Chains A and B, each alone.
Chain A
Amino acid sequence: PEKQTREKEKQQTPLQQYICKLLYQDLNKNTVKIVLKQLRKVKWEEDNEQFILKSLLKLHKGKFNNIHLVASLISGLSPYHELLCIKVVDLLFESVRNQLEINDFKLQQKQISNLKFLGELYNYCVIESHLIFSCLYMLITYGQPNMIPPELASQGGQLIPEPQANSTDQSTDSFRIRLVCTLLDTCGQYFDRGTSKRKLDRFLLYFQRYILSKSHLSTDVEFAISDLLEVLRPHLKRITTYQAACEAVMKMEEEEGEAERQQEKNQVQN
């Protein structure tokens, strides 16, 4: 028989081992301040920074319930290591997008924790609401150019021509609905007044259309949606047919277009 080769063990420096221990074992709500202090004491060189960045993004190695603590670490580090925080957000978003493209069953849990993390970053004021909405619209439109709301479509064409859509989102696949629920479960309750409330109401219309475009929903996803809506908008009447949802979206888009033209007119007059 062939000799079985043992997988090479990763060579880590003591410092790297220590960082791993801090992030994946020691971190809990009582120790978060200590961990933050220890991380700040690390000599902040190129290699170390890269390692900390990678470790912070490996959320699946820690506990799911600890994700908000990692977000609070990021927010605590941000005054001193702005670059690190920017990289974390950039790469997190990229990872979400990458996994939408691959749509690998094995990576689904990782993707869920990614979105939870993104929501928590909003809760800890590391990112602003427009990034959350970017992500939400990405979840329901990626790979489906005809679903994109007009203001985004017009933006997109300007800078760069769009690559071909690769459709990894089948009409029977309801995983993205779960992702939207995860993200809004985490930070949706803060979109309850002002512009962000309006933005969320608008998104929910598109979301309902997306839900209705699916041919079949399993019971657990259906419950996830109704739980979510009950918390966010208890008085919302769910649209029941795809046709009605399309009409509602079209009506809203028309009204928005009208308002925009009105605004332009006013500007010209002034």
Chain B
Amino acid sequence: VSAAISLAKKRTKIVIRNLPSNLTSELFMATIPEDTMNHVDFWYFHPGKTSEKYPSDSLVYLHFISEEKAKEFGNLYNGHAFITSKGKEQRACVDVAPYQKVPKKKKVDTK
């Protein structure tokens, strides 16, 4: 399962899954070690949905400068526990992102 899926060669972009759906990016930042962001050159937070019918988890994608740092972070953060609003425990799950691309430069759309 999990990391086994990714056929990508370099594995510096990781995804954190299974985060509570009502998490915000500020709250997430508070849960990671302070110096993590020094090794991250690109990241984004995708909020989940709290709908009753089809809830979805929040996601965070992080791109590290080196594979070692990514590994280090993965080992540290995998299984990080959150308590949801219903009082249940929800454990974060770190994985290699299947799609490793990150944006390069910015072009301004003149249209």
Contacts and interface: CB of A to CB of B under 8 A. Distances in A.
Contact of A90 (B57, B93, B99, B109): B99
Contacts of B99: 86, 89-90, 93, 127, 131
Contacts of A87: 44, 46
Contact of A160 (B44, B94, B104): B94
B96 interface: yes
A138 interface: yes
Nearest to A154: B4
A28 to B, nearest CB: 21
Interface stretch (A76-84, A185-193, A219-227, A261-269): A76-84
Nearest to B77: A160
A137 interface: yes
Range for the number of chain A residues in contact with chain B: 35 or more
Give the interface centre of A37, A152, A157, A165 by most chain B CB atoms within 10 Å: A152
A91 interface: yes
B103 to A, nearest CB: 4
Contacts of A153: 4
Contacts of A171: none
Contact of B1 (A79, A83, A89, A162): A162
Interface string A147-159: 0100011011111
A111 B81 CA distance: 29
Give the interface centre of A93, A142, A155 by most chain B CB atoms within 10 Å: A155
Given A131-B99, A160-B95, A148 B104 contact: no
Given A158-B71, A159-B14, 18 more contacts: A82-B103, A86-B102, A86-B103, A87-B44, A90-B15, A90-B97, A94-B59, A97-B5, A131-B99, A134-B7, A137-B5, A145-B4, A155-B4, A158-B3, A159-B74, A160-B71, A160-B78, A161-B75
Interface of B: 1-8, 11, 14-15, 17, 44, 46, 56-57, 59, 61, 70-71, 74-75, 78, 93-99, 101-104, 107, 109, 111
Which 4 pairs of residues, A with B, have the shortest CB-CB distance? A156-B4, A156-B3, A82-B103, A80-B109
